[in-house]
Amino acid sequence: MENLTGKVAIVTGSSRGIGRGIAERLGQDGATVVVNYSGSEQEAKQVVEAIESKGGKSVAIQASVSKVEDIRRLFAETIRHFGQLDILVNNADIAIGGAIADVTEDDYDKVFNLNVRGVLFALQEAAKHMSNGGRIVNISSTTTIQPEAGMAVYAASKAAIKLFTAVMAREVGDRGITVNTVMPGPTIPGMFGNMPTEVQQQAAASSPFNRVGTPQDIADVVAFLVSEEARWLTGQDICANGGAKM
């Protein structure tokens, strides 16, 4: 299915994990995909090659989404390369765990600089450059609705994204642009893959499907949200966790 032919998409943090899955799926659906990465150049090139090997079009652009000047350069280079922007998936993030009693200022700054400031200013650039009828998907987390000890800073940063979604949806709706949030549950490969085996097993058992998610599971949800068929969905928070902890 190539329902995104002629569309240009930016997927932040798309050199691995969920971001890679999303980038490859959008490329499969016909979009020209900008694979954004911060430091994983070789992995980003592999994603580009994977998209192009299936007949798609893609380019890798380095930019640290925690830096506003890099965000602006990412969008400027996209417009310069392709002349338009139709889809933005804000996926890049960082997770630092720890009890509130142990959180450092550095922990807070690292998480909020990327997960919150990065998304905010990427949305700002999208508001300036996105074509009418565009699609924005912000990747949040089920930790915002299923609080876990030791995840306060990460979950708070992801909760801010959901508020950005609701506000942005109202601000750009008159241009036919939809803005939605996807909240993945535990997903492997991804950050959850670094968790102890017993934690992964518990997460799998909490879903009626008896497994954790895959990047493809999340990518398929995103692919629907950026399609024409999802034109009547905006300002929504979509829980994509395989029914875990319903």
Whether 60 maps to a domain, the answer reads: yes
Number of domains in the chain: 1
Residue 63's nearest CA partner among 84, 87, 35, 103 is 35
Query: Looking at 75, 154, 164, 192, which residue is catalytic?
Result: 154
Q: What is the tens place of the pLDDT at every residue in 82-135?
A: 999 999 999 999 999 899 999 999 999 999 999 999 999 999 999 999 999 999
Tell me the C-alpha distance between 1 and 95, whole Å.
34
The domain that holds 207 is classified in CATH as 3.40.50.720
pLDDT of residue 196 exceeding 80, the answer is: no
Residue 208 confidence (pLDDT): 76
Instruction: Tell me if residue 154 is catalytic.
Output: yes
Whether 181 maps to a domain, the answer reads: yes
Whether 246 maps to a domain, the answer reads: no
Whether 46 maps to a domain, the answer reads: yes
Residue range(s) defining the domain that contains residue 204: 8-240
Whether 245 maps to a domain, the answer reads: no
Whether 2 maps to a domain, the answer reads: no
Mean pLDDT for the chain?
92
Whether 108 maps to a domain, the answer reads: yes
Tokens in use for 1? 């299915």
Cβ 160 vs Cβ 139: under 8 Å: no
Whether 83 maps to a domain, the answer reads: yes
In this predicted model, which residue has the larger pLDDT, 165 or 149? 165
Average pLDDT value for residue range 48-67: 97
Range from 26-35, 69-78, 156-165, 198-207 carrying the lowest mean pLDDT: 198-207
| Phi/psi of residue 240, nearest 5 degrees | -115, 80
